[in-house]
Amino acid sequence: MKLFTNDQIRSIERQIIKNEGVTTIELVERAASAISWELMARWRQSKKILIFAGPGNNGADALAVANILIEEGYSVEVLLFNIFDKLSEACAHYRNKLRETSPSSLIEITSDFTPPYISTDSLVIDGLFGSGLKEPLSGGFQSLVDYINNSSATIVSIDIPSGMFAEWNERTLSRNAIHATLTLAVEFPRLSFFIADNAEFLGEWKVLDIKLAPNDVRTETSPYFLLEKSDAYRLIRHRSRFTSKSDYGSCLLAAGSYGMMGAAIMAARGALRAGIGRITIHSPRCGFNSCQTNLPEAMFEPDGNDIVITNIPQKHDYNVIAIGPGIGTHEYTVRAIESLIVAAKKP
* 66-115 pLDDT per residue, tens: 999 999 999 999 999 999 899 999 999 999 999 999 999 999 999 888 89
- pLDDT band, residue 233 (cuts 50/70/90): confident
Neighbours of 139 (CB within 10 A): 7
Average pLDDT estimate for 50-54? 98
Distance from C-alpha of 120 to C-alpha of 291, rounded to nearest angstrom: 51
Average pLDDT estimate for 135-147? 92
Q: Does the pLDDT of residue 45 top 90, yes or no?
A: no
Average pLDDT estimate for 231-251? 88
Distance from C-alpha of 319 to C-alpha of 340, rounded to nearest angstrom: 15
More confident site: 141 or 219: 141
- At 217 the pLDDT is 75
Distance from C-alpha of 110 to C-alpha of 6, rounded to nearest angstrom: 29
More confident site: 319 or 172: 319
- pLDDT band, residue 154 (cuts 50/70/90): very high
Percent of the chain with pLDDT over 70: 98
- At 172 the pLDDT is 67
Question: What does the mean pLDDT of the chain come to?
Answer: 92
Q: Does the pLDDT of residue 175 top 80, yes or no?
A: no
- At 213 the pLDDT is 64
Looking at residue 44, the DSSP 8-state letter turns out to be -
